[in-house]
Copies of this chain bind each other. A is one copy, B any other.
């Protein structure tokens, strides 16, 4: 198929820094190319891809200190897409909402994956205006706050199978916390769970400016109080395999409706089980007793740590291989594209310059 992937411009595809959406667009795009599809990626010009790249800006917006307002650049992105919209069998948008009034004429070949949280005050009225737009949720739970819309499917994210190799051994035996230091990620819970379990905890996390006060007032004092807790700062993609693979378990004590939670499947790829609080997508990702434990309190989490020996790291990785590879994700999307009412399977129709429609029209 000839497929357009339309990425946000905040980060390159794949991202140089944090950027969950752009990472998934990259994994999906490269896997679609690998499966033989003709993919065009609309993204920032510093993106790296085996697909055809349509560069909208020279560099990702978040890295460009001169950028004040990201909206004009996303309008440029949409103009580039609309100029070529006729040439695609399917158009796949990853930019949330900006394109929706624009795709009326190609709606039957269009799908949008919603990457963010949907429980925001301005969204219900918006989505009620677009009840026919085919939407993909990244977990079933993500859908809960939404008014009736045209859900096409839930498609869970996936990672390239060889991105994070499994570690079969016992590793260094610590608990791992990976993500952002922020109140809804609850690093405080992770620290208390580790302290009560008597296991070391390593925290690999970035601290956004908005969370600086939370770090200094709430978390840094806890890190200092407990000698078994180590804060190692932000780690890059290459360090992840080591950090997660050497851990006894990933602790994922979230307190917000996480729409997906990539770090859970990253741990699973490393064969590392996950102790996760029942929240958001967690019950859809973790198989309780197989790839980890789902808990509802710190007491239950401490009990789960004590039962980690019940889990088999090979079965954790097998759970990843069965459900969370980029190959599975891409196959799901291809089957979705093929089922779109306007999806075209064959050669695109003869291109017609604007204004010549009448002369070429086949009359019914």
Contact = CB atoms under 8 A, between A and B. Distances in A.
Interface of A: 57, 66-69, 71-73, 75-76, 78-82, 97-98, 100-102, 104-105, 120-123, 125-126, 129-130, 357-359, 361-364
A122 B9 CA distance: 14
B73 A122 contact: yes
Contacts of A100: 75, 79
A71 B73 contact: no
Contacts of A104: 82
Contacts of A80: 129
**In the complex this chain forms, how many copies of it are found?**
2
B71 A97 contact: yes
Contacts of A102: 78, 82, 101-102
A132 to B, nearest CB: 11
A73 B364 CA distance: 39
A57 B125 contact: yes
B361 A126 contact: no
Contacts of A361: 357-358, 361, 363
Contacts of A121: 66-68
The 8 closest A-B pairs by CB, nearest first: A72-B126, A78-B101, A79-B101, A358-B364, A76-B129, A359-B364, A72-B122, A102-B102
Contacts of A120: 68-69
Contacts of A72: 97, 122-123, 125-126
A76 B126 contact: yes
A78 B130 CA distance: 12
Q: Which of A57, A69, A101, A357 has the most CB of B within 10 A?
A: A101
Given A75-B97, A75-B101, A361-B363, 4 more contacts: A66-B121, A72-B122, A79-B129, A82-B102
A79 B130 contact: yes
A210 to B, nearest CB: 15
Nearest to A102: B102
A195 B332 CA distance: 75
Contacts of A101: 75-76, 78-79, 81-82, 102
